Amino acid sequence: MEFTAKTIAEFLQGEVIGNPDTKVNNVAKIEEATPGTLAFLANPKYNKYLYTTEASIVLINKEFEIENEVSATLIKVENAYESFAKLLELAEQARPVKQGISDLAFIEESAKIGDGVYIAPFVYVGENVVIENDVKLYPHVFVDDNVTVKKNSTLNSGVKVYHECVIGENCIIHAGAVIGSDGFGFAPDENNVYRKIPQLGNVIVEDNVEIGSNTTIDRATMGSTIIKQGAKLDNLNQIGHNVQIGENTVIAAQSGVAGSTKVGKNCQFGGQSGIAPHIQIADGVKVTPQAGIPNTIKEPGSIVMGTPAFNIREFQKSFIVYKQLPDLFKRVKQLENELAKLKGE
């Protein structure tokens, strides 16, 4: 489909600088764009590409100051990155919608299937499962007994949802994710042999949650592991049993949250961050990549760094000293040698 700069600007409530009849039929990175594509500029590191890009249309922020001649038609918007995301969402919605139930899917008779559902070949839907309207289950999805998948959610290829779990509305779960596997619960006996503790709870994924590929979320020992509405979990995350992830919290790839920890809303966790069990993270906390959090963080909005993680400003001051340790060690040794000589004299 082709769109003109005028049409795009009207949709985004932006201002056209250049030819309003310029047409595009695809999107691209600003540094790799070709004629007929639309790009965006939001990061100052890419400013130079605005003057060399071959894109036909570029979205820019309203406050951006143009320093040289630009060949592309520009559309000024409040937030170029957010506007570009809206266009991508619009393009995604324009794709053909799959519907229908394959003869190669296996659905237990007691399952309840809503309208507008897509169930691909080799999907298994267990007993007493509820699949609400407009849900999409792609090949090799496994939905165990007594699961509920609410309307307009998508489970991509290979997703496994264990018994009793609940998936909310408008959720996206990417390939290979496992929802509701047993929590890591074992108790040693008098012979130090580990006995499995039955995991009798479930996982509740609230509305508008996105879960990345190969992420695992363990079911609760009792009660529920809860991923609250709007949370976004990247690929290869591990969420332990009885954890709660707060509203609109985002966790980047290869991070782990140990059992019974409560994470507040609007938090941000960098990749490979690790969180100890049985602690609480306040609302709005930001955690840098590879940080390790051993204790409760009580201060809302704080930024922590390092392992063990503590306030980022204090960490940065400490790191300056840390880099000087080899020189400090040499100076200490020199002082020790001089002191020994003085004692000898």
Q: Sorting pLDDT into bands at 50, 70 and 90, what band is 217? A: very high
Tell me how many domains the chain contains. Answer: 2
Tokens 């999107």 identify what position? Answer: 27
Same domain, residue pair 185 and 295 = yes
- Domain membership of residue 40 (yes or no) is yes
pTM: 0.83
Range in 7-16, 89-98, 177-186, 324-333 the model is least confident about: 89-98
Domain extent, residue 254, equals: 100-314
Query: Which pLDDT score is estimated for 301?
Result: 95
Q: How far is Cα of residue 175 from the mean position of the Cα atoms in its chain?
A: 14
Tokens 């200490």 identify what position? Answer: 332
Query: Which pLDDT score is estimated for 267?
Result: 98
pLDDT higher at 186 or 310: 186
> Which of residues 35, 60, 93 is at a domain's end?
93
Mean predicted confidence (pLDDT) in 223-233? 98
Q: Sorting pLDDT into bands at 50, 70 and 90, what band is 18? A: very high
What CATH number did the domain enclosing 115 receive?
2.160.10.10
Specify which of 251-260, 305-314, 324-333 reaches the highest per-range mean pLDDT.
Answer: 251-260
Same domain, residue pair 207 and 296 = yes
Strands (DSSP E) found in 35-98: 37-41, 57-61, 73-77
Strand order in 15-17's β-sheet? 15-17, 73-77, 57-61, 37-41, 26-27
Same domain, residue pair 218 and 308 = yes
Q: Sorting pLDDT into bands at 50, 70 and 90, what band is 309? A: confident
- Domain membership of residue 322 (yes or no) is no
Q: What tens digit of pLDDT does each residue of 104-122 get?
A: 999 999 999 999 999 999 9
Q: What tens digit of pLDDT does each residue of 250-305 get?
A: 999 999 999 999 999 999 999 999 999 999 999 999 999 999 999 999 999 999 99
d(CA 80, CA 72) in angstroms, rounded, equals 15
- Domain membership of residue 242 (yes or no) is yes
Same domain, residue pair 82 and 214 = no
Q: Sorting pLDDT into bands at 50, 70 and 90, what band is 317? A: confident
Same domain, residue pair 82 and 113 = no
Q: Sorting pLDDT into bands at 50, 70 and 90, what band is 21? A: very high
- Domain membership of residue 332 (yes or no) is no
pLDDT higher at 312 or 211: 211
CA atoms within 13 A on the CB side of 180: 24
What CATH number did the domain enclosing 68 receive?
3.40.1390.10
- Active site amino acids: 241
Same domain, residue pair 236 and 282 = yes
Tokens 């969420």 identify what position? Answer: 239
DSSP string, 168-193: -TT-EE-TT-EEEEPP--EEE-TTS-
d(CA 338, CA 18) in angstroms, rounded, equals 75
Q: How far is Cα of residue 9 from the mean position of the Cα atoms in its chain?
A: 29
Neighbours of 210 (CB within 10 A): 18
d(CA 148, CA 144) in angstroms, rounded, equals 10
Query: Which pLDDT score is estimated for 343?
Result: 83
Residue 27 belongs to what H/E stretch? strand 26-27
Same domain, residue pair 175 and 67 = no
Please report, for residues 60, 67, 201, 272, the alpha-carbon distance to residue 48 in angstroms, rounded to integers and kept in the order given. Answer: 13, 10, 54, 32
Same domain, residue pair 178 and 230 = yes
Q: Name the β-bridge partners of 23.
A: 4
